[in-house]
């Protein structure tokens, strides 16, 4: 049997207290935390894709205005950049916001890391597109609100029936004015409804 040598430590099996082992834990390195993406409709994604594809075509023709064309469309603006902007879940309206989702070297001044002339043109066009998109969505919301309001007033069944069946009545000069006035008092137009609800979109 092994006899330990005096004043000499043996090993962690014989003397575990003299060979303490530190607990080591693996931890993930800190990094960027991406916020939860806003869920956008397929129609909005398709609209953004169509705009970006169209702008890429314009960029290509302006980039090679004198002819030639040594670089392809995908080289000037890759499909990956289009996909990242389209599916980012927000409307990036500045370089800072855009940089959170994609890196596109063509629109940057490499000396200042700011937008170059192409970048300024792109961000102006992108902001204008988002403004138009929001305006269209607001109009659709007003139109849908009007439809819902009409359903509540006359009932859903009557609403759909009224939009498929048109009743015509032969009016005489003596009955026309009274019937027309009554219809005007009982019916609100889309224009009136938009005016009444416009404060919601100010």
202 residues of the chain, pLDDT tens digit each: 556 666 666 676 676 666 666 666 555 544 444 555 566 788 888 999 999 999 999 888 888 876 666 778 888 899 999 999 999 988 999 999 999 999 898 999 989 989 999 999 999 999 999 999 888 888 888 888 877 877 777 776 666 665 554 554 554 545 444 444 444 444 445 445 545 455 444 4
Global pTM reads: 0.55
| Predicted pLDDT at 199 | 47
| Predicted pLDDT at 128 | 93
| Predicted pLDDT at 186 | 44
| Domain extent for 51 | 42-138
Helix (H, G, I), strand (E, B) or coil at 15: coil
Cβ-contact 53, 82 below 8 angstroms: yes
- What tokens appear for 164 in the block? 């498929």
Assess if residue 200 is contained within a domain: no
| Predicted pLDDT at 79 | 93
Query: What Å distances lie between residue 36 and 33, 43, 44, 89, 182, CA to CA?
Result: 9, 20, 18, 8, 53
- Helix (H) or strand (E) run with residue 108 in it: strand 108-109
Assess if residue 23 is contained within a domain: no
Would you state the torsion angle of the CA atoms of residues 158, 164, 170, 174, taken in this order, to the nearest 10 degrees?
40
| Predicted pLDDT at 10 | 67
Assess if residue 168 is contained within a domain: no
Which residues, at least 6 apart from 80, have a Cβ–Cβ distance to it below 8 Å? 102
Assess if residue 196 is contained within a domain: no
Domain count, the chain: 1
| Predicted pLDDT at 55 | 92
| Predicted pLDDT at 94 | 94
| Predicted pLDDT at 160 | 62
Assess if residue 25 is contained within a domain: no
- CB neighbours (10 Å) of residue 170? 5
Assess if residue 156 is contained within a domain: no
Which residue is associated with the tokens 């005489």?
172
């Amino acid at each position: 049997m092994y006899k330990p040598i005096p004043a000499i430590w043996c090993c962690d099996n014989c003397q575990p207290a003299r060979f303490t082992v530190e607990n080591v834990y693996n931890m993930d390195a800190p990094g960027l935390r991406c916020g939860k993406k806003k869920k956008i409709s397929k129609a909005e994604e398709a609209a953004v894709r169509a705009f970006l594809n169209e702008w890429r075509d314009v960029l290509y023709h302006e980039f090679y205005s004198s002819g030639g064309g040594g670089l392809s469309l995908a080289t000037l603006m890759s499909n990956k950049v289009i996909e990242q902007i389209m599916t980012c879940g927000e409307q990036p309206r500045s370089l800072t916001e855009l940089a959170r989702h994609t890196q596109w070297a063509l629109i940057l001044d490499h000396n200042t890391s700011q937008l170059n002339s192409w970048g300024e043109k792109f961000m102006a066009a992108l902001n204008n597109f988002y403004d138009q998109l929001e305006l269209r969505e607001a109009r659709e919301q007003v139109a849908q609100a009007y439809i819902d309001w009409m359903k509540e007033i006359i009932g859903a069944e009557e609403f759909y029936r009224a939009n498929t069946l048109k009743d015509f009545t032969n009016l005489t000069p003596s009955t026309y004015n009274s019937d027309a006035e009554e219809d005007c008092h009982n019916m609100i137009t889309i224009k009136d409804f938009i005016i009444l609800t416009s404060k919601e979109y100010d």
